[in-house]
Amino acid sequence: MSSIRSVKRLSLIVLFIFLLSALSGCLQSPKNDNDGGEDFTFTMLDGTTKHLENYRGKIVVLDLMAVNCQPCIYETISLKNISENYSSDKVAIISIDVWISLGETPELVRDFIYAFNQQLDIELNWTFGVDDHQGTIMNKYAPEGVPTLYIFDQKGNIYYSHYGYENYATLASKLDELLKKE
């Protein structure tokens, strides 16, 4: 007798799950425009805010760095080579100083860019920004430290990540892989 009750109970549960899944399309709220990719907000050096989502449709190379980090300086050279060899229509580079919570400032980032230009005759012509004072981006994307690099696909999904210095050849091969998928 108890096995018949168990079968009935199981049948009711299966029927309930079936009906719930069949009706769920009617009960769901309208789909928003979010395509499920990563998103965060950062502050550009001019004080305006941007979202990673603003770069959808492009591959994004996200450089989480600090101006007082020697390996970050070396990686900046690799990023300069990326900026020279890939169209900004297809690949966006964003360098974000995540040591704001540790005392770095937008002014230090501006000085960093200026020093590259004046002392090395290298123009850093991509987007630079800073994290918030709570270290939101650093805590989520660079908990091990800097430099940390991410490559996001055109939909904002993480394609590649690396902690520590990354050379140009590796970055270029990852970008080429993504560009071939277009």
Of 38, 43, 36, 39, give the one whose Cα is nearest residue 134.
43
In a domain, 34, yes or no: no
- On whether the CB atoms of residues 95 and 76 are closer than 8 A, the answer is yes
104 domain-assigned: yes
Higher pLDDT, 113 or 26: 113
- Domain containing residue 171: CATH number: 3.40.30.10
Q: Within a domain: residue 33?
A: no
In a domain, 106, yes or no: yes
0.85 surpassed by pTM: no
**Mean pLDDT across 176-182:** 91
Q: How far apart (Å, rounded) are the C-alpha atoms in residues 125 and 167? A: 19
**Which pLDDT belongs to residue 26?**
28
Question: What pLDDT band is residue 36 in, cutting at 50, 70 and 90?
Answer: confident
pLDDT score recorded for residue 182: 74
- Overall domain count for the chain: 1
The contacts found for 102-106 with CB under 8 angstroms, 24 or more apart, are 102/66, 102/135, 104/66, 104/67, 104/68, 104/130, 105/130, 106/43, 106/45, 106/47, 106/130
Say if residues 49 and 136 touch (Cβ distance below 8 Å): no
Q: Is residue 10 part of a domain?
A: no
Q: Which residue in the block uniquely carries the two structure tokens 């309930």?
A: 16
DSSP string, 55-110: GTTSEEEEEEE-TT-HHHHHHHHHHHHHHHHS-TTTEEEEEEE--GGGT--HHHHH
133 falls within a domain:
yes
Environment class of 36 (CB within 10 Å of its CB; exposed 0-12, middle 13-18, buried 19+): exposed
In three-state secondary structure terms, 134 is coil
pLDDT at 52: 97
Residue 68 lies in a domain: yes
Classify residue 130: in a domain, yes or no.
yes
Mean pLDDT of the 58-75 span: 97
Task: Name the band, by pLDDT with cuts 50, 70 and 90, for residue 1.
Answer: low
Domain that holds residue 66: 41-180
